[in-house]
């Protein structure tokens, strides 16, 4: 891993957009190749009621900056709500997931350090459209250093049954 050698700017609307795993597009704004592997940044649009299953990254810290909407978060055993303007830091090895509890699509910037998790989103986008094959999802996660350890909040949130709209992502 080496630091980037040149400054760069990614303008609004730039990046590579792929089909995201949480019901909306993911735009890869900054890749490992752009930063010498130090970090990657993605913008996720997450549809109401959706979010990833509970998981752990063994090698990456993950950061979220909420751009629009309202999310319920689980970080280890803590469950909390965060709205636009909130920042969340999730150290590597920490169980986490989130769910869009807004009535409209919500957006967040996601940063991984070091970079590399953007490959998970690219590989997921290459799966056939339609319902996610749980075995394929788990294999892509494994290849990218992510361990799925529980269901999405849509299936496990003890705080509110009204926000449990169901999830297209695999439960374990």
- pLDDT given for residue 111 in this prediction: 98
**Sheet harboring 78-83: ordered strands across?**
78-83, 70-75, 96-100, 53-57, 146-152
State the average pLDDT for the chain. Answer: 88
The answer on pLDDT for 165 being more than 60 is: no
Q: Which of the four CATH numbers 3.50.50.60, 3.30.830.10, 2.40.30.10, 2.60.120.10 does domain 16-156 have?
A: 2.60.120.10
All structural domains of the chain with their residue ranges:
16-156
The answer on pLDDT for 118 being more than 90 is: yes
What is the per-residue pLDDT across 85-96, written as a single tens digit (0 to 9) for each?
999 999 999 999
What is the per-residue pLDDT across 132-143, written as a single tens digit (0 to 9) for each?
888 999 999 999
- pLDDT given for residue 172 in this prediction: 35
CA distances (Å), origin 41, targets 21, 55, 132, 149, 164: 16, 19, 24, 24, 28
The pLDDT confidence band at residue 22, using thresholds 50, 70 and 90, is confident
Per DSSP, 166 falls in state -
Euclidean distance between CA atoms 91 and 33, whole angstroms: 22
Between 62 and 133, the more confident residue is 62
Per DSSP, 118 falls in state H
Between 54 and 2, the more confident residue is 54
**Do residues 93 and 60 lie in contact, with contact meaning Cβ atoms separated by under 8 Å?**
no
Euclidean distance between CA atoms 109 and 15, whole angstroms: 13
The answer on pLDDT for 127 being more than 70 is: yes
């Amino acid at each position: 891993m080496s630091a980037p050698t040149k400054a760069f700017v990614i303008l609004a609307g730039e990046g590579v957009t792929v089909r995201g795993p949480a019901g909306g597009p993911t735009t890869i704004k900054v890749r490992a190749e752009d930063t010498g592997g130090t970090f990657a940044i993605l913008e996720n649009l997450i549809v109401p009621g959706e979010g990833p299953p509970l998981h752990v990254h063994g090698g990456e810290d993950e950061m979220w900056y909420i751009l629009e909407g309202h999310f319920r978060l689980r970080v280890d055993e803590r469950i909390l709500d965060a709205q636009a303007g909130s920042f969340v830091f999730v150290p590597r090895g920490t169980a986490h997931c989130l769910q869009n509890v807004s009535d409209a699509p919500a957006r967040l910037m996601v940063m991984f350090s070091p970079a590399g998790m953007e490959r998970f989103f690219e590989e997921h986008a290459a799966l056939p459209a339609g319902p996610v094959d749980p075995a394929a999802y788990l294999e892509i996660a494994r290849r990218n250093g992510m361990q799925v350890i529980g269901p999405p909040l849509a299936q496990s949130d003890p705080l509110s049954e009204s926000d449990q709209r169901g999830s297209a992502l695999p439960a374990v």
